[in-house]
Structure 1
Amino acid sequence: MNKRLLYVSCCIIACITILSQCINKAEKNEAAFRGPQYAGAAACAGCHKNIFDTYMGTAHYHTSMPANTSTVKGSFAAPDHTFTYDSATKVVMEARDSGLFQAAYNNDVPQESHRFDIVVGSGRKAQTYLYWQAGKYFQLPLSYFVPAHSWANSPGFPADHPKFDRMIPSTCFGCHSSMVAKSTDMQGVHIVESFEKNQVVYGIDCERCHGPAAEHVQFQSSHPQEKKAMYMTRIAELKNQQKLDMCALCHSGLGTPQKSMFDFKPGDALSGYFFPEFTAPKRTAQMDVHGTQYQLFTASKCFMKSNDMNCSSCHNPHNSESNNMELFSQRCMHCHNTASHNFCKLAELPANILAKNCIDCHMPALPSANITLLTNGKQSPTPDSIRTHLITIYKEETKKVLARLKQAS
């Protein structure tokens, strides 16, 4: 009996030892490509649980995810699972035992198929998808367009045949993840990137905006009585341009990088990460609403007349607030109110109704010329509508909003 008990005890100890080794190995693997100075977002939840929990519902947090049945939007059931290019060519979404696939057929003969590996995009407007092969990531030919509830040709892809060979560089991961494991090699005069499969810190996590936290977590855990945040950059103490640069890293378009975007830390200057764009449009009328939020916002009178206006003046990055027009409008009222004599001057509707939606009049959703999606059965692509960040007067949009508000009232 004692021998049996000893044997069971030895087995339990062995299992615990193996499990701890596996956990340590996983931690070391993550540290290997992100660095030991990072603690991981889960470490933030201990002291900042409420913020952590609400942030998990934001588009930033969900801007990339591993692909599976719970993260991929769109139907895998007939007839909605098929995108037709012509009478002979189609791509079918297939749920197989080994995962989700996009499979191309010509006259019902299989041509090529690849697995959904990574979801890119929160799914609030659209999602696109990547697959991994031989050290490279490629974009799948079909994306999902939420407003149309339909599979759609991926932006910039040919409309007459499925394209599986669009290679995705690390710069795309720079705005849609918190780190990707990669290596580089010189082939002639070109730098060639290679990626480890699914070695990605998905989404924009706490440390992507607040900086590496391992030293902070270690200190605060061992000094719980210390209420001042140590070994972390205090965002509130940054200069206004530094706060703007944090958001502009991903919301000012994709420039020519000088160094990896993953190296950016709060307080860094944006100019240190991208070469100047001498060919970029100088006039706001030439700027597309996609990817130029920083340029449009800083060209607005609201910004130019303020000393300290920045992205966080309107956006709480820790909460999901999209489409809450009344909440955003209340933030407009901090400056635009009757006491300051600069409230909305429209007389068609009562002030209490106008106060519920400044946004659709002064920051309307406008069609993007750069992001268009061809949905199944359509002859021309549909532009994605993106809210402009140029805060100004849009007369035609205002007419639409007034008509809608009058009807609702």
Structure 2
Amino acid sequence: MKKRVLYIISIVIILIGIISYFTLHRKESSYTNEYIEITPIATHINGMDFIDSATCIECHAQIVKDHYKTAHFNSFQPANKQTIKGSFEKDKNTLNLGDKVTFNFTEKDSGFYQEPIFNNQNTPFYSAKMDIVVGSGTKGQSYLMWNNNNLLQLQASYFTPTNSWINSPGAPDQLAPARPVLERCLECHTTYAQNISGSKNGSKFHKKNLVYGIDCQRCHGPVKKHVVHHKQNPNDKIAKHIIKYSSLSRQQRLDACALCHSGLRTETTERAFSFAIGDTLKKFSSPDYDESSLEDLDVHGNQYGLLKASKCFTNSNSLNCITCHNPHKKERGNISSFNQKCMDCHTTISKPINCSGDKEEIKKTRNNCIQCHMPLVKSKTMKIQIPDGDEVSVDVRTHLIGIYK
């Protein structure tokens, strides 16, 4: 009897051990699979997987939430009621194009539309759906539509300073066909878009293989491997499998921004979206202007060239874009923050800054260093027609740091 009881107890212990082993193994397997199986939202032609930036929230919640508010992240978005800045309300939803055509902006169950109508007719000439918003709305927005896989820019845009619909910059003052969108246009507004035209001058793109806005992976490289590693190794506090800005040289940091902020560029051998953080930009494209002439540098889009020509830059061994800009945060209008960046370099204990400007003007601007030394300048290339028919140049803050009258 005793032997039988011991036998039964032994069997029970063995069964408990087997069940516990498989239970733990299944949990571990489930745990591992959960971390490894991250579904990409797009794939680069070089094989790199893009994942949803929301994946980063678990470990970098505040950084991601702050980045969602930046102009970079909101530079390319699906069109909806929240992302379109122009009004669809009566008396605010029209644009007169000369004296022959009126654009009506309408909201339907299927989306938002631009509908031009000749003034002697009753029905729209066409009804074009606004599928994508280009621009955060800081200065304005343009709108793109899908025609099968062709991506086209619609004629009407939105201009923030006048809070009104306008004729798109560069468009004729008469009804015109939608303009094809090229891959080089998208390179500066979104993290990735796959061109399936077979030519860099084609406007066909893979609808499902694009990443909206400028997200984490545009500046930190592919992060899927990084996420998987730290999910599986939560106690590893040293960032692995990700590009850190602290590891880049000064020129590599500048090149990362110069790709989109150095004016028009001429391609060498590579296609759009080929350049990656850490690459040397001049191997991919060269300036389409004379860098030595300040006259050729426009405030719109060439912040890099103007910064390089500034004494603040030439007299420093380390100054670069992120010295003054935090790419994770929306900083526009934060005067005190930018002033402090200036003071950090220009004030020491032994030599406090002594501004020689007019004391009364300094008071009026609340000691705003940027207002005096990086003023708003009218762009020579970015011009728009406002509703009254006048053409105006858009004001852009210059990055040629200096002493201005």
- Using structure 2 for the length normalisation, give the TM-score: 0.84
1:357 aligns with 368
2:274 aligns with 263
CA distance in 2, matches of 1:177, 1:340: 44
Aligned residue for 1:69, secondary structure, equals coil
- 1:9-408 superposed matches below 5 A: 27=39, 30-31=42-43, 35=47, 37-106=49-118, 107-108=120-121, 109-159=123-173, 161-185=174-198, 192-197=202-207, 199-257=209-267, 258-275=269-286, 277=288, 279-280=289-290, 282-337=292-347, 339-346=350-357, 348-349=359-360, 356-376=367-387, 378-395=388-405
| Contact 2:252 2:279 (C-alpha < 8 Å) held by counterparts | yes
- Whichever residue aligns with residue 145 of structure 1, its letter is F
CA distance in 1, matches of 2:151, 2:225: 33
| Contact 2:41 2:211 (C-alpha < 8 Å) held by counterparts | no
Aligned residue for 2:355, secondary structure, equals coil
Deviation at 1:30, TM superposition (A): 2.7
| Contact 2:308 2:314 (C-alpha < 8 Å) held by counterparts | yes
Name the CA shift for 1:56/1:28 in 2 (closer, same or farther; >3 Å): closer
- Whichever residue aligns with residue 242 of structure 2, its letter is M
Deviation at 1:281, TM superposition (A): 5.5
Deviation track 1:212-236 (CA, whole Å, cap 9, x = no partner) reads 0111111111111111111112211
Deviation at 1:390, TM superposition (A): 0.3
CA distance in 1, matches of 2:361, 2:159: 37
Deviation at 1:375, TM superposition (A): 1.9
Deviation at 1:163, TM superposition (A): 2.1
- Whichever residue aligns with residue 69 of structure 1, its letter is K
| Contact 1:117 1:198 (C-alpha < 8 Å) held by counterparts | no
Identity %, equivalent residues: 38
- Whichever residue aligns with residue 140 of structure 1, its letter is L
- Whichever residue aligns with residue 263 of structure 1, its letter is S
Deviation at 1:34, TM superposition (A): 8.2
Deviation track 1:283-314 (CA, whole Å, cap 9, x = no partner) reads 21332110110000010000000000000111
CA distance in 2, matches of 1:75, 1:34: 41
Between structure 1 and structure 2, the one with the greater Rg is 2
| Contact 1:330 1:356 (C-alpha < 8 Å) held by counterparts | no
CA distance in 1, matches of 2:277, 2:235: 26
- Whichever residue aligns with residue 149 of structure 2, its letter is G
Deviation at 1:199, TM superposition (A): 4.4
CA distance in 1, matches of 2:40, 2:401: 47
Name the CA shift for 1:170/1:225 in 2 (closer, same or farther; >3 Å): same
Name the CA shift for 1:250/1:93 in 2 (closer, same or farther; >3 Å): same
| Contact 2:152 2:203 (C-alpha < 8 Å) held by counterparts | no
CA distance in 2, matches of 1:119, 1:57: 15
CA distance in 2, matches of 1:239, 1:29: 30
- Whichever residue aligns with residue 312 of structure 2, its letter is C
Equivalent pairs counted in the alignment come to 365
Deviation track 1:93-147 (CA, whole Å, cap 9, x = no partner) reads 1112221111111123421221001000001110111011132111111111001
- Whichever residue aligns with residue 397 of structure 2, its letter is R
Deviation track 1:202-258 (CA, whole Å, cap 9, x = no partner) reads 110000100001111111111111111111122112111111111111101131233
Structure 1 residues not aligned, in runs of 5+: 1-23, 396-409
- Whichever residue aligns with residue 134 of structure 1, its letter is N
| Contact 2:263 2:298 (C-alpha < 8 Å) held by counterparts | no
CA distance in 2, matches of 1:199, 1:151: 30
| Contact 1:38 1:214 (C-alpha < 8 Å) held by counterparts | yes
CA distance in 1, matches of 2:358, 2:40: 64
